[in-house]
């Protein structure tokens, strides 16, 4: 697995740097081309010569110490890497990675690489539990950085708790697994996927509107999962409570009519449509050009039905694979299957939004996926990201079959 693979090993300044030397040795013995970058602090714990001897390559500690004039070394290493591993990763390096700071060779290479990044933190128990560190790790995880959890035990600082760098064998196994995963064919490679997310906004006057509780979390998780599965993703989004994901083509659509236009304009170049957005079923018949004055004791707002975007797509689906969502509060299966048939979906993802932990706003969901024949998978309470990954795993083989 490791034979001929280029692994950039970033070593930061912590006592656990000595374990990185054992890791470097194991990787080199397994046939990997290990290129070590040390931070200035790391060199206080272990001499660069140790890594140089184990890896049989120069160890880079200074961004400007260009040893080969034919390349720019941080870009060269960033491009050549099959995997970048940071072990041990200090709180300082995590902060730099999370905020895009590039003030040394390691942080600069990390910013330049497109290779998968595996990070093994090691620090004092209070540091790893600090909200700033947790926030940085969560941010990095969002961006696809993988972590190797630190272990529990006696720490060099005298504390007993979480914070020890994982053992070299464990690091080695995680590296081999990450390389194996990177080599797997991406199940949605070559597919163009259109995802809708968030709630539509239906204006009443210049300062008032009708909307719903959708945060966009579910739809964005689906867009990210499709992107990670190799698809070219277009995200048509309404009102969101979370930031837009990277690596997708994002298109803003305020109202249901805007969303219909945005979706239909992109339908010809789309293979898979996944409609997680909560679209308003009705809109105000007229939008007042000026702020409506509160003169009368009561007020009647005349609503008209919005077009059903999913149904419109379903009626023109051709060879496309269509996935709808169904937000229900009762008779989940019956209503979901009715929507699947009426809107010509291939799959429908039903969530009972009255259940604790399911539906709008939160980070979790409980979904059941149906096709024409009935239940395909009933997922337990899961993070929306995991539910989205599982959903994409259900979609990919079915959509591939459809094209064939």
Candidates 46-54, 107-115, 292-300, 356-364; binding stretch for ligand PMT (CB under 6 A): 356-364
Residue 233 CB, shortest distance to ligand PMT, in Å, is: 17
* Residue 322 is a binding residue for ligand PMT (CB under 6 A): no
| Binding-site member from 37, 310, 388, 395 for ligand PMT (CB under 6 A) | 310
Helices (H) and strands (E) in the chain, counts: 14, 21
* Residue 216 is a binding residue for ligand PMT (CB under 6 A): yes
Other beta carbons within 10 Å of 244:
14
| Binding-site member from 272, 326, 347, 369 for ligand PMT (CB under 6 A) | 326
Binding mask 3-32 for ligand PMT (x = CB under 6 A): ------------------------------
Q: At what angle do helices 91-99 and 105-112 cross, to 10 degrees?
A: 40
CB 235 within 8 A of CB 221: no
Q: Please, what sign has the CA dihedral across residues 38, 44, 49, 55?
A: negative
CB 205 within 8 A of CB 288: yes
| Binding-site member from 59, 85, 179, 256 for ligand PMT (CB under 6 A) | 256
Candidates 87-95, 121-129, 148-156, 358-366; binding stretch for ligand PMT (CB under 6 A): 358-366
* Residue 88 is a binding residue for ligand PMT (CB under 6 A): no
Interface of this chain with ligand PMT, residues 136 to 155, rule: CB under 6 A: none
Q: Which is nearer to ligand PMT, 122 or 369 (CB)?
A: 369
Binding mask 258-277 for ligand PMT (x = CB under 6 A): -----------------xxx
List 203's β-bridge partners, or say none: 209
d(CA 404, CA 387): 27
Report in angstroms the alpha-carbon separations of 388 from 61, 111, 220, 222, 346: 41, 27, 9, 5, 17
Considering CB under 6 A, how many residues would be counted as binding ligand PMT? 27
* Residue 308 is a binding residue for ligand PMT (CB under 6 A): yes
Candidates 80-88, 130-138, 355-363, 394-402; binding stretch for ligand PMT (CB under 6 A): 355-363
Question: First CA to last CA across the chain, in angstroms?
Answer: 32
| Binding-site member from 10, 13, 14, 359 for ligand PMT (CB under 6 A) | 359
Report which of 257, 377, 372 is spatially closest to residue 322, judged by C-alpha positions: 372
| Binding-site member from 217, 283, 385, 389 for ligand PMT (CB under 6 A) | 217
State the catalytic residues.
Answer: 157
| Binding-site member from 36, 174, 309, 369 for ligand PMT (CB under 6 A) | 309
> Residue 343, SS3?
coil
Q: Give me the DSSP letters along 148-165.
A: -PPEEEE-TTS-EEEEEP
Please list, in sequence order, all residues whose beta carbon lies within 8 angstroms of the beta carbon of residue 197, skipping any fewer than 6 positions away: 214, 216, 218, 219, 220, 222, 223, 235, 236, 237, 238, 240, 276, 277
Residue 245 CB, shortest distance to ligand PMT, in Å, is: 13
Q: Catalog residues that contact ligand PMT under the rule CB under 6 A.
A: 214-219, 256, 275-279, 281, 306, 308-310, 324-327, 339, 351, 353, 359-361
């Amino acid at each position: 697995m490791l034979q001929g693979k280029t692994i950039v090993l970033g070593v930061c300044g912590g006592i656990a740097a000595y374990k990185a030397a054992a890791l470097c040795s194991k990787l080199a013995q397994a046939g990997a081309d290990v290129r070590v970058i040390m931070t200035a602090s790391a060199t206080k714990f272990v001499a660069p010569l140790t890594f140089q001897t184990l890896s049989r390559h120069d160890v880079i500690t200074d961004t400007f110490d260009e040893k080969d004039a034919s390349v720019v070394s941080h870009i060269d290493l960033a491009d050549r890497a099959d995997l970048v591993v940071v072990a041990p990763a200090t709180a300082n390096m995590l902060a730099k990675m999370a905020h895009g700071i590039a003030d040394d060779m390691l942080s600069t290479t990390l910013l330049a690489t497109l290779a998968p990044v595996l990070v093994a933190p090691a620090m004092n128990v209070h540091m790893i539990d600090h909200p700033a560190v947790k926030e940085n790790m969560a941010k990095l995880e969002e961006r696809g950085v993988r972590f190797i959890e630190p272990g529990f035990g006696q720490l060099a600082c005298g504390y007993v708790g979480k914070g020890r760098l994982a053992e070299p064998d464990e690091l080695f196994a995680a590296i081999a697994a990450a390389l194996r995963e990177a080599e797997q064919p991406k199940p949605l490679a070559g597919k163009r996927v259109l995802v809708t997310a968030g709630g539509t906004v239906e204006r009443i006057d210049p300062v008032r509107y009708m909307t719903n509780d959708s945060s966009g979390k579910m739809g964005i998780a689906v867009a990210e999962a499709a992107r990670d599965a190799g698809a070219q993703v277009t995200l048509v989004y309404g009102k969101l409570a979370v930031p837009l994901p990277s690596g997708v083509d994002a298109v803003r659509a305020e109202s249901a009519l805007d969303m219909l236009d945005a979706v239909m304009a992109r339908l010809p170049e789309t293979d898979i449509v996944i409609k997680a957005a909560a679209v308003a079923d009705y809109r105000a018949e007229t939008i007042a050009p000026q702020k409506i004055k509160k003169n009368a004791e009561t007020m009647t707002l005349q609503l008209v039905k919005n077009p059903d975007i999913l149904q419109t797509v379903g009626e023109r689906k051709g060879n496309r694979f269509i996935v709808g969502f169904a937000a229900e509060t009762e008779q989940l299966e019956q209503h979901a299957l009715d929507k699947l048939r009426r809107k010509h979906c291939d799959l429908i993802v039903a969530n009972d939004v009255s259940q604790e932990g399911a539906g709008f706003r939160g980070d979790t969901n409980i979904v059941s996926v149906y096709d024409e024949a009935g239940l395909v998978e009933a997922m337990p309470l899961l993070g929306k990201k995991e539910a989205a990954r599982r959903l994409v795993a259900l979609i990919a083989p079915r959509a591939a079959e459809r094209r064939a």
